[in-house]
Amino acid sequence: MGAQQVRERFTELYGAAPEGVWAAPGRVNLIGEHTDYNDGFVMPFALPHQVTAAVSRRTDGVLRLHSADVEGEVVELVLDGLAPGTDDDWTAYPAGVVWALREAGHPVTGADVHLASTVPTGAGLSSSAALEVVIALALDDLFGLDLPRWKLARLCQRAENVYVGAPTGIMDQTASACCEEGHALFLDTRDLSQRQIPFDLAAEGLRLLVVDTRVKHAHSGGEYGKRRAGCEKGAALLGVDALRDVAYDGLDAALEQLGSAEDAAEVRRLVRHIVTENRRVERVVELLTSGDVRAIGPVLTEGHASLRDDFRISCPELDLAVDTALAAGALGARMTGGGFGGSAIALAEASAVDTLTKAVEEAFAAAGHTAPRVFEAVPSPGARRLG
């Protein structure tokens, strides 16, 4: 939805024009899955799909929220009453950001907000991070906080971890806050150092397709937390701060150290995924910076096998999307995001896009799955003020 429409709706709802309009995008993760809470590497890029927010300041300690995407009236919350676990619907994300900003000592005294999103929800494309980041950026601007982008991302992550109660890492919020058009973001989640890696698919005659399987996922459910706990157990057993500290060359020794007991098998699989996935991110960075874009395909596909077999977070629809895309000529394909549903991505020659899309749609129909949503992902700008 355009900035003008969001501005007009805000004016209708609140009786005065907003002070400004901001946008923050969803993301696709190219490679580096579940590595972010292991201090590892990730490589997302921003989608053109975004959350747009019209916002004005208030001085009376009240937060008013309205979304074009959710039925219902304006929701009114008192800032002093905001506390983790008190909201269990979409308002927890913006309210959580306000809570996190205030808890960190930033003088936010209230706001009126109207939102509209084009990021599919529950599709593994970071609709919640986009919602958090657009609020954080708007309040940062309006209250003159002047926080660096990485810090806004950290506060949004805190909102999600503590206020909403989802034990996620830092990737999605940083992607939404820091990505740049035409680039993928190589992020070291240990020290948050970043490199913008040029990723201009069109110039190479390539396309990246997203297949939203329409299988909804949620990170506040138990499986994401179980994987995280398993990785932390692996790090503790290996005597390292985080699995990031297990070198690729030392993987065999680490797996041996974990032993072969039945109950060690799961931790061994998790460790193997994280260590090999960090290596895959480095590999993709090397290939992209040397201009060998097509060669990242097999690395992406290898990442899918690791998520399916070692991390065990794929599902039949994601596997079908990946297998069908590969059989129809994709250079590489993998699930993207947290898993247990959501989206897959496929890298393909521009000339193969129609065949591939048709093949995936037909395979889903034949398997009796809900029709997937297939679209092209173009590396787009990160969060910004629109007016």
Site for ligand GAF in 110-169 (CB under 6 A): 168-169
Instruction: Pick between residue 94 and residue 124 the one whose CB is nearest to ligand GAF.
Output: 124
Q: Which stretch binds ligand GAF (CB under 6 A): 17-25, 30-38, 98-106, 252-260?
A: 30-38
Does the protein bind ligand GAF through residue 33 (CB under 6 A)? yes
Please list the residues that pair with 184 across neighbouring strands: 197
Least Cβ distance, residue 65 to ligand GAF (angstroms):
22
Residue span 71-90 as binding mask against ligand GAF, x where in contact by CB under 6 A, dash where not: --------------------
Q: Does the annotation list 123 as a binding residue?
A: yes
Residue where the block lists tokens 């590396």: 379
Least Cβ distance, residue 238 to ligand GAF (angstroms):
20
- The single-letter code of the amino acid at 137 is L
DSSP string for residues in 226-252: HHHHHHHHHHHHHT-SSGGGS-GGGHH
Q: Does the annotation list 128 as a binding residue?
A: yes
| CA atoms of 384 and 348, how far apart (whole Å) | 30
Least Cβ distance, residue 302 to ligand GAF (angstroms):
16
Q: Tell which one of 172, 180, 302, 310 touches ligand GAF (CB under 6 A).
A: 172
- The single-letter code of the amino acid at 226 is K
Residues 6+ apart with CB under 8 A from 232: none
Least Cβ distance, residue 127 to ligand GAF (angstroms):
10
Q: Which stretch binds ligand GAF (CB under 6 A): 33-41, 65-73, 102-110, 255-263?
A: 33-41
Q: Does the annotation list 103 as a binding residue?
A: no
From the list 169, 156, 95, the residue with the least C-alpha distance to 130 is 156
Q: Does the annotation list 122 as a binding residue?
A: yes
Instruction: Pick between residue 84 and residue 122 the one whose CB is nearest to ligand GAF.
Output: 122
Site for ligand GAF in 179-238 (CB under 6 A): 219
Tell me the C-alpha to C-alpha distance, in Å, between residue 157 and each of 42, 44, 233: 16, 16, 22
- DSSP designation for 373: E
Residue span 308-337 as binding mask against ligand GAF, x where in contact by CB under 6 A, dash where not: -----------------------------x
Q: What is the size of the binding site for ligand GAF (CB under 6 A)?
A: 12
Catalytic residue among 172, 188, 309, 319: 172
Residue 165 phi, psi (nearest 5): 90, 25
Produce one character per residue of 177-213: b if its CB has 16 or more CB atoms within 10 Å, e if not: bbbbebbbbbbbbeebebebbebebeeeebbbbbbbb
At how many degrees (to 10) do helices 353-366 and 316-327 cross?
A: 140
Q: Which helix (H) or strand (E) holds 345?
A: strand 343-349
Q: Does the annotation list 34 as a binding residue?
A: yes
| CA atoms of 347 and 206, how far apart (whole Å) | 7
Rg (CA), the chain: 21
Residue 382, both tokens = 């990160």
Q: Tell which one of 47, 55, 171, 206 touches ligand GAF (CB under 6 A).
A: 171
Least Cβ distance, residue 228 to ligand GAF (angstroms):
8
| CA atoms of 155 and 145, how far apart (whole Å) | 13
Q: Is 60 a known active-site residue?
A: no
Q: Does the annotation list 319 as a binding residue?
A: no
Least Cβ distance, residue 207 to ligand GAF (angstroms):
23
Q: Which stretch binds ligand GAF (CB under 6 A): 31-39, 194-202, 248-256, 268-276?
A: 31-39
Residue 211, both tokens = 């297949």
Binding residues for ligand GAF, per CB under 6 A? Answer: 29, 33-34, 36-37, 168-169, 171-172, 219, 337-338
Task: Cite the annotated binding site for substrate by residue number.
Answer: 33-36, 224
Q: Which residues are catalytic?
A: 172
